[in-house]
Amino acid sequence: MKGITFITSAVIVCGLSLSALNAASSLIDEAKEANLRALPKNQAEVDNLLKENGIKASKFTQAKAELGKKLYFEPRLSKSGIISCNTCHNLGLGGVDGISAAIGHRWAINPHHLNSPSVYNAILNTTQFWDGRAGTLADQAKGPIEAEPEMATPAKLAVEKIASLPEYVKEFKNIYGKSGVNFDNIADAIANFERTLITPSRFDRFLEGDTKALSKEEQAGLKLFIDKGCTACHNGVNLGGSMQAFEVAGKYKFANVGDFKGDENGMVKTPTLRNVAETAPYFHNGAIWTLTEAIKEMGSVQLGISITDKEAKSIEAFLHSLTGEKPQITYPQLPISTAKTPKPQL
């Protein structure tokens, strides 16, 4: 009888395991049907996604990326000489600055009280900036450099600064040939570095067929995320990153924080949910500090539904599975200023 009991128990366990496997496989299919996609594994796959979305980009090279990394951390691209791209898009803090509204030149708060989006996986967004005014990362890179409340450096001054440093001049010539140091090439190099900031997560392994990559709790949260309709806006490879209507079903309770109203049609770039557990505060004006509150607010504002605390916690569990592995970035040694380098203006 003991042998029969053991066999029966083994059959039950095997049946339960098979049932869980089938449920996970079914959920993977549901996620794919909801247009959730795994991250690209290399730059060739990045190129394929860019072409698919009609986004133009220069040919990627490692040399461009290495130069772009220096420029990403280069504070002399700011008028004050103390602000770099990494100031607002800190690679050690999920690609953000961790404050509600970006702080720029002379400690100016963003005039529209806009929150700094993450730079991780940003190459895969179909549009850039909260109002979608840039279609590529290279175009996006130019904006903060020139914007007075941010880095406050006119294009001509930015070129003058970089061109005053022989090490940079040599690198630009080797990579870009006769065009050398110009504003387009500065932005292109930065964009090439940002292309490398891809963060694969357990969720990607799950989509690729690893049914054990997500816990039962995380799978339940993913199921709820799909069933509640969150994927209407948070879809694609970045679970966001495209222009969508905002305040579809209700009024955002912090709409009065700042004066941002979206583009001319009231559309707003949906933030990526990748690494979202690391990128508080949330929403375009950084007015919400917890994922639970953000999830419940999105239910009310976008879906016209009430999401309970229990449901929000379940969805939050899934969102944590989107925290990805960050590329190892060694802080670059930057060229020494010369007598020709324009002095900082505070």
Question: Which residues neighbour 172 within 8 Å (Cβ) at sequence distance 6 or greater?
Answer: 67, 162, 180, 181, 185
Active-site residue among 150, 218, 297, 311? Answer: 150
Tokens of 50: 């860019």
- Is 150 a catalytic site residue? yes
Give, rounded to a whole angstrom, the gap between the first and last alpha carbons of the chain. Answer: 86
Question: Cβ atoms within 10 A of the Cβ of 338, count?
Answer: 10
Cis peptide before 281 (omega within 30 of 0): yes
Q: Determine phi and psi for 243, rounding to 5 degrees.
A: -80, 130
Residue 89 marked ligand-binding = yes
| Among candidate residues 27, 2, 176, 154, the one with its CA nearest the CA of residue 78 | 154
Tokens of 122: 């940003």
| Among candidate residues 174, 190, 213, 223, the one with its CA nearest the CA of residue 86 | 190
Residue 14 marked ligand-binding = no
**124-134 b/e (C-beta count within 10 Å ≥ 16 → b):** bbbbbbbbbeb
Residue 88 marked ligand-binding = yes
CB burial of residue 174 (10 Å; 0-12, 13-18, 19+): exposed
- For CA atoms 198, 201, 203, 205, give the dihedral sign: positive
Instruction: Give, for 340, the enclosing helix (H) or strand (E).
Output: none
Residue 85 marked ligand-binding = yes
Residue 298 marked ligand-binding = yes
Residue 1 marked ligand-binding = no
Q: Is residue 291 classed as helix, strand or coil in its secondary structure?
A: helix
Binding residues for heme c, as ranges, are 85, 88-89, 105, 230, 233-234, 298
Instruction: Enumerate the active-site residues.
Output: 150
Which residues make up each annotated binding site?
Answer: 85, 88-89, 105, 230, 233-234, 298
